[in-house]
């Protein structure tokens, strides 16, 4: 039976079993639109097309953006999802091309899906204008036959950072028309460029600016972002330019219900709550049965596939069809993702279960509700995901289902923190030496460096060029640095991670017709594609028959079993270099470079529905290594003797668990950006030690910021332990592996914090 969203919301309010687990129900009121007239400089043909679409005026932020672009000022637009940011760059670009046919624009989007989605919007405007404006997508899927025409005639080239890095900049002599006449560079969804990806893109833009200057062009940069804490700072770090920030949102918004739901405690002695996965399944089932078109976000690929299977079982018809429920995640082939996006826009899907792959602004039509299985990790991501529902200014519903981890429990128990806190900062470090040197090589390959020339705003450019010359990569001749190595440097630089090419996933169920159904990055493969793993794809189960690590292929066969698998990752760490250290009360704190080794040793079989453990199996795969930066604290040597070896180990597990979930609140980063490990007896100091490291090759400065803190993380850990009502530890405070270690950890923290408790 289909009901309206208002009726569904009323039914939830009237359900005492649902309401007893709601910790907060906040209604955000509808927002009226704020308008501004079209500027006189806007071509009359564009105004005519907009009015034909029912747009009689611009939103205030759209008018501000247009004024900045026409004046040639670089700017960043920061407004929520579905606030009309696309017009902030399409209008000035089309206006410039209509006034000067030679004008060119370059659009950068973080994903191919977003590129194709936005170029479709641009096409429709160009067709309505009836003007000879050529807009093309140029990426890995562009046919070779079309590439020459795009280079010569494309007014607007829509691409992604990877293609700009490998396919356009190294071949700039074929793109003379674009670079000579480049008027605008548009970078959409800049909040997606953080960590390694953002640091790489900043260097790609340094290379782009060098090539533009070589051809005599000085384009205006237009950046767009969802709500983050530091959009202006991020855009300026990315482009090395001064930016005007436009954040006065003029778009309207419908009323939004925001519900925080904490699954009930099912074992009071151990403090164990019902799982977030089965709770999300029950809420999603309720939405599907009510006919409320919804999106469910889960934090891992495995969780997505488990939820898809559950939801498909609910809607399956007598013939076994369950197409009204779809999954969406990284690893699906592009053709499958485009098909799902089309089905969503057409309204043919009642429920889509996704990782954060659908968090970006791809148009997926009109959804009414958003359910999150676990806190997404950041306030910014939470609002981005919530914005996927109610995109047409209609009433919408967001339900956040908390997991047992401390960050989820903190957010769910402190709603005022969530609603009152600014969104997180996005960190990049363009001057990370690994990243910078790679792009300096690429830049030298593209254009020789003049002696004394700086690479963007890098002061040590000359020193780095001399280093590359010592490595026989460059050669100084008559005041210019020339590339002299044989290889193509761009091929060895992956913008998004430190991993090399992806693994292909091949379905061998039909012996006569093997088919590729997905792909996966190298660092995820050991967890999900080891031999005998159950790989799930759109709710179907496949068993991994063989994983060929050398050939980067996984061979899978369809099966029907009542369980899924999850692997255990073992991590070890060793210090490569210590940059700095100093005493901190009874502790000593250190900062330096570390080598992190990780290996998957075994996998567990977990039954559907009950989620009980059915057994385990070994995994034999090579170890993966990563160099990064870390901060670590050494505890006093006598603690193990004082508290006992077993109690000390349990307390250290609990401390590492707490820090991993507390640090992102202080760093304003995603919880996946850092990792924490402990050594009860560290091999380098013979003392108990806790390490916090950037989960990004080379590091982006997160651990450096932690080093600068006083005792905040230890004090906050003590507060969280005190706030939890359990007696001696539960999954919500110390984690499932260290239940029973609460009292020891409190005693240790009290000893470490001492008089600094009041100061922190």
Q: Model confidence over 577-618: pLDDT tens digits?
A: 999 999 888 889 999 999 999 888 898 998 887 778 888 888
How many angstroms separate the CA atoms of 289 and 299, rounded?
24
How many other CB atoms sit within 10 Å of the CB of residue 356? Answer: 18
Sequence-separated (6 or more) residues with CB below 8 Å from residue 410? 417, 661, 665, 720
| Mean pLDDT comparison of 39-43, 118-122, 677-681, highest-scoring range | 39-43
The pLDDT of 683-697, averaged and rounded, is: 86
Q: What is the pTM of this model?
A: 0.78
The pLDDT of 468-484, averaged and rounded, is: 92
Between strands 75-78 and 244-246, the pairing is parallel
> What pLDDT is attached to residue 397?
95
How far is C-alpha 277 from the chain's CA centre?
A: 21
Lowest-confidence segment of 513-522, 556-565, 594-603 by average pLDDT: 513-522
How far is C-alpha 459 from the chain's CA centre?
A: 31
Under the banding of pLDDT at 50, 70 and 90, the label for residue 414 is confident
Buried b (16+ CB within 10 A) or exposed e, 444-463: bbbbbbeeeeebbebeebbe
The pLDDT of 557-581, averaged and rounded, is: 89
> What pLDDT is attached to residue 379?
82
Lowest-confidence segment of 16-20, 25-29, 186-190, 402-406 by average pLDDT: 402-406
Under the banding of pLDDT at 50, 70 and 90, the label for residue 189 is confident
| pLDDT above 80: residue 138 | yes
Residue with tokens 């270099």: 577
- Per-residue pLDDT of 332-367, as tens digits, reads 877 888 888 888 888 888 899 998 877 766 667 678
| Mean pLDDT comparison of 18-27, 614-623, 692-701, highest-scoring range | 18-27
| pLDDT above 70: residue 78 | yes
Under the banding of pLDDT at 50, 70 and 90, the label for residue 197 is confident
- Per-residue pLDDT of 156-188, as tens digits, reads 999 999 999 999 999 999 999 999 999 999 999
Residue 729, token pair as written in the block: 């530890």
Beta bridge partners of 195: none
> Helices H, strands E: what count in the chain?
25, 32
| Mean pLDDT comparison of 287-301, 400-414, 659-673, highest-scoring range | 287-301
What is the chain's mean pLDDT, rounded?
87
The pLDDT of 4-11, averaged and rounded, is: 92
> What pLDDT is attached to residue 503?
85
> What pLDDT is attached to residue 254?
87
How many other CB atoms sit within 10 Å of the CB of residue 133? Answer: 20
Lowest-confidence segment of 24-28, 196-200, 278-282 by average pLDDT: 196-200
| pLDDT above 90: residue 562 | no
Q: Where does residue 560 rank: exposed (0-12), middle (13-18), buried (19+ CB within 10 A)?
A: exposed
Say if CB 462 and CB 476 are below 8 A apart: no
| pLDDT above 80: residue 696 | no
Say if CB 592 and CB 691 are below 8 A apart: no
| pLDDT above 50: residue 759 | no
> What pLDDT is attached to residue 506?
93
| pLDDT above 60: residue 758 | no
How many other CB atoms sit within 10 Å of the CB of residue 141? Answer: 12
> What pLDDT is attached to residue 362?
67
Strand positions, DSSP E, 422-473: 449-450
> What pLDDT is attached to residue 266?
79
Sequence-separated (6 or more) residues with CB below 8 Å from residue 113? 334, 337, 338, 341, 360, 362
Say if CB 721 and CB 734 are below 8 A apart: yes
Four-residue CA torsion sign, 651, 739, 670, 709: negative
Say if CB 93 and CB 105 are below 8 A apart: yes
> What pLDDT is attached to residue 40?
93
Under the banding of pLDDT at 50, 70 and 90, the label for residue 555 is very high
> What pLDDT is attached to residue 760?
39
Query: What is the three-state SS of 77-114?
Result: EECCCCCCHHHHHHHHHHHHHHHCCCCEEEEECCCHHH
- Per-residue pLDDT of 422-432, as tens digits, reads 676 777 888 87
Under the banding of pLDDT at 50, 70 and 90, the label for residue 498 is very low
| pLDDT above 80: residue 319 | no
| Mean pLDDT comparison of 108-112, 199-203, 550-554, highest-scoring range | 199-203
């Amino acid at each position: 039976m289909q009901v309206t969203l208002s009726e569904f919301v009323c039914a939830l309010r009237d359900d005492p079993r649902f309401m007893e687990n709601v910790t907060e129900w906040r209604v955000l009121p509808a927002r009226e639109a704020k308008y501004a007239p079209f500027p006189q400089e806007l071509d009359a043909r564009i105004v005519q097309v907009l009015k034909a679409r029912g747009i009689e005026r611009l939103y205030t932020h759209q008018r501000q953006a247009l004024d900045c672009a026409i004046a040639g000022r670089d700017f960043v637009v920061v407004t929520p999802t579905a606030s009309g940011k696309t017009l902030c760059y399409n209008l000035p670009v089309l206006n410039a091309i209509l006034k000067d046919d030679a004008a060119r624009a370059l659009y950068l989007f973080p994903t191919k899906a977003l590129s194709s989605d936005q170029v479709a919007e641009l096409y429709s405007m160009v067709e309505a204008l009836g003007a000879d404006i050529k807009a093309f997508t140029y990426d890995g899927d562009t046919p070779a036959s079309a590439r020459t025409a795009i280079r010569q005639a494309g007014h607007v080239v829509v691409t992604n950072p990877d293609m700009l890095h490998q396919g356009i900049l190294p071949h700039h002599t074929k793109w003379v028309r674009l670079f000579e006449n480049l008027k605008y560079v548009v970078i959409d969804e800049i909040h997606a460029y953080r960590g390694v990806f953002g640091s790489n893109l900043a260097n790609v833009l340094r290379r782009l600016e060098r090539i533009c200057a070589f051809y005599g062009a000085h384009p205006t940069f237009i950046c767009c972002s969802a709500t983050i804490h530091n959009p202006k700072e991020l855009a300026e770090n990315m482009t090395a330019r001064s930016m005007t920030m436009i954040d006065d949102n003029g778009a309207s918004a419908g009323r939004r219900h925001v519900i925080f739901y904490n699954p009930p405690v099912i074992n009071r002695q151990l403090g164990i709550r019902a799982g977030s996965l089965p709770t999300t399944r029950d809420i999603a089932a309720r939405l599907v049965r009510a006919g409320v078109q919804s999106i469910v976000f889960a934090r891992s690929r495995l969780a997505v596939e488990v939820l898809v299977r559950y939801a498909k079982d609910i809607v399956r018809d007598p013939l076994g069809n369950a197409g009204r429920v779809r999954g969406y995640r990284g690893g699906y082939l592009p053709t499958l993702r485009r098909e799902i996006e089309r089905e969503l826009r057409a309204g043919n899907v009642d429920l889509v279960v996704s990782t954060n792959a659908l968090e970006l602004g791809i148009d997926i039509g009109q959804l009414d509700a958003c359910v999150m299985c676990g806190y997404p990790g950041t306030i910014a991501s939470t609002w981005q995901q919530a914005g996927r529902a109610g995109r047409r200014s209609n009433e919408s519903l967001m339900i956040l289902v908390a997991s047992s981890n401390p960050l989820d429990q903190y957010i769910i128990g402190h709603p005022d923190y969530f609603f009152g806190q600014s969104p997180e900062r996005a960190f990049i470090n363009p001057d990370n030496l690994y990243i910078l040197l790679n792009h300096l090589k690429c830049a030298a390959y593209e254009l020789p460096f003049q002696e004394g020339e700086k690479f963007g705003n890098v002061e040590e450019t000359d020193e780095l060029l001399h280093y590359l010359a010592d490595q026989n990569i460059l050669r100084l001749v008559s005041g210019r640095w020339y590339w002299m190595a044989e290889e193509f440097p761009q091929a060895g630089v992956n913008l998004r991670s430190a991993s090399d090419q992806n693994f292909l996933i091949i379905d061998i169920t039909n012996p006569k017709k093997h088919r590729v159904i997905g792909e996966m990055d190298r660092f995820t493969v050991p967890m999900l594609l080891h031999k005998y793993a159950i790989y799930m794809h759109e709710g179907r189960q496949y068993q991994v028959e063989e994983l060929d690590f050398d050939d980067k292929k996984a061979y899978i066969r369809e099966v029907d079993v009542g369980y899924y698998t999850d692997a255990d990752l073992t991590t070890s760490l060793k210090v490569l270099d210590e940059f700095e250290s100093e005493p901190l009360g009874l502790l000593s704190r250190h900062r330096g470079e570390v080598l992190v080794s990780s290996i998957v040793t075994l996998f567990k079989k977990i039954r559907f529905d009950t989620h009980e453990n059915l057994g385990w199996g070994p995994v034999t795969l090579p170890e993966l290594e990563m160099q990064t930066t870390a901060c670590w604290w050494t505890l006093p040597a006598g603690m193990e003797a004082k508290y006992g070896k077993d109690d000390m180990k349990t307390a250290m597990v609990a401390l590492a668990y707490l820090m991993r979930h507390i640090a992102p609140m202080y760093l304003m980063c995603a919880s996946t950006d850092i990792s924490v490990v402990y050594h009860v007896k560290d091999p380098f100091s013979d003392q108990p030690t806790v390490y916090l490291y950037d989960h990004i090759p080379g590091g982006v400065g997160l651990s450096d910021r932690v080093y600068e803190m006083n005792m905040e993380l230890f004090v906050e850990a003590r507060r969280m332990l005190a706030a939890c009502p359990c007696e001696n530890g539960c999954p919500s405070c110390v984690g499932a592996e260290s239940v029973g270690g609460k009292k020891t950890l409190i005693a240790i923290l009290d000893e470490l914090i001492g008089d600094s408790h009041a100061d922190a």
